[in-house]
Amino acid sequence: MITEVDVVQRAIAIRREIHRFPELGFEEERTAGIVERELTDLGIEHRRLAKTGVVGIVRGELPGKVAGLRADMDALPVLEQSGEPFASELPGKMHACGHDAHTAMLLGAARVLQAERSRLHGAVVLLFQPAEEGPGGALPMIEAGAMDDPPIDAVAMLHVDTRLPTGSIGFTAGVCNAAADEFYITIDGVGGHAASPHTATDTIPCAAAAVLALQNIAARESDPFKTVVVTIGTIEGGYRHNIIADRVKLGGTFRSQDPEVRAGLERKARRILDGIASAYGCRASLEVIYGYPPVVNDAVLAESFRSYLAQTSTLSVETPPATMGGEDFAYFAERAPGLMVRLGVRSERAGSIHPGHSPQFRLDEDGLAFGVETLVAFARGVGSGRVEYGPPPNATGSGGGSVDRKM
Ligand SMILES: [Zn+2]
Ligand SMILES: [Zn+2]
């Protein structure tokens, strides 16, 4: 299939319209309004849920399975420096992760699928999701029934990626990114005069020792084949050079891919912190805020979709390595066989070379045609039964992230 020019032109125009007015998580009123306007124009039934989420349904006239297609709609608190003529008109807010393009491509796919309803098998649920960058819109959408009516058999998403050249897409079977959990440490001691350390309990050396010791989780306590990242991103403490600090606070993130490894990180960190604090005569507390689980791509789905694309398209399909980023599509993929597809938008010519979340981020809009094509192919393949998938992840307990968001 070569996506029709007018579909792509329309998708690009919508992407620019969304790009000019970026909205943060659960504030996507304007963006959801654009989605509703377009779906109404196309005659596609739709409903609002999870505040700014929109679910549309394309019903094929032939019997078949139900494909879910998910796009996120939110922007980031970044001051745009892309130099694009349609750059953000709202200072401090920017579509720096490409979610504007995700939304526009899903609307493009909706346009193609709605036009071919008489030949389309099954149904397609269009999932326009708020707040992917936080606090997370996928779970509220699911809890509001986004996957239930009609029940989704297999679900896919696209994410633009400036590591892959325009014209290519990529996906892998199994875990393709990471669980991203935050942690906060507070170390308490007794303040005092810098010249009389014996009258105080200094938290600074304790914090320094803790920073180094926590690296042991990754370096010595984890299976080298099961990736773990422990990063301390912030340290704050102390008053001035001649005062012993009574408190130091540290903030950081754990990244992991294996559910068992992830479940052990808090316990290991707590043990290390208790030991270090005790050695230095301080007290340490740890708070872990659990984020999204890793996305686990269904292996049968990945393989079957790859061969379907080889038979029905000229798309170049890569096998990119996993990343340690987070993505709340994981929750959809825990409930139905799922596939996270990376869409190549790298182009030196278009200046599309900066990574997502950069203020200079640009994406090559020539990639949008391939994204629409990929989404349409997924819906056609799943609906007709030509793209197969494994059992629902939760039914087999193989669904990756088993840890709740907050604990
Ligand atoms: Zn992002
Ligand atoms: Zn993103």
Give residue 385's identity as a one-letter amino acid code. Answer: G
Give residue 162's identity as a one-letter amino acid code. Answer: T
Complete domains list, the chain, with CATH: 5-176+294-396 (3.40.630.10), 179-289 (3.30.70.360)
Which pLDDT score, from 0 to 100, does residue 399 have? 38
Which pLDDT score, from 0 to 100, does residue 397 have? 41
pLDDT tens sequence across 155-196: 999 999 999 999 999 999 999 999 999 999 999 999 999 999
| Secondary element (H or E) of residue 47 | strand 45-49
Distance 326 CA to ligand 1 centre (A): 8
CA distance 64 to 386: 10
Which pLDDT score, from 0 to 100, does residue 390 have? 97
Residue 67 backbone dihedrals phi, psi, to 5 degrees: -100, 140
Distance 132 CA to ligand 2 centre (A): 7
Distance 367 CA to ligand 1 centre (A): 18
Which pLDDT score, from 0 to 100, does residue 3 have? 64
CA distance 348 to 2: 24
Distance 98 CA to ligand 1 centre (A): 8
Distance 99 CA to ligand 2 centre (A): 6
Distance 159 CA to ligand 2 centre (A): 6
Distance 212 CA to ligand 1 centre (A): 29
CA distance 72 to 26: 11
User: 48 with 327: CB under 8 angstroms?
Assistant: no
Q: Which ligand sits nearest to residue 100's alpha carbon? A: 2
Q: Which residues of the chain have pLDDT under 50?
A: 395-407
pLDDT tens sequence across 329-364: 999 999 999 999 999 999 999 999 999 999 999 999
Q: Which ligand sits nearest to residue 102's alpha carbon? A: 2
Which of 119, 103, 1 lies closest to 56, judged by CA? 103
CA distances to 73, 87, 88, 187, 238 from 18, rounded to whole Å, are: 9, 10, 9, 45, 45
User: What's the pTM?
Assistant: 0.89
Q: What integer best gives the mean pLDDT of the chain? A: 95
Which pLDDT score, from 0 to 100, does residue 394 have? 73
| Segments of 166-293 assigned E as strands | 168-170, 174-175, 179-188, 192-193, 228-237, 243-244, 247-256, 283-289
Distance 97 CA to ligand 1 centre (A): 5
Distance 376 CA to ligand 1 centre (A): 24
Q: Which ligand sits nearest to residue 158's alpha carbon? A: 2
Q: Which ligand sits nearest to residue 77's alpha carbon? A: 1
Which of 208, 237, 325, 221 lies closest to 269, judged by CA? 221
Which pLDDT score, from 0 to 100, does residue 1 have? 52
Which pLDDT score, from 0 to 100, does residue 374 have? 98
Distance 272 CA to ligand 2 centre (A): 34
CA distance 229 to 223: 12
Which of 102, 95, 87, 89 lies closest to 11, judged by CA? 102
Distance 360 CA to ligand 1 centre (A): 14
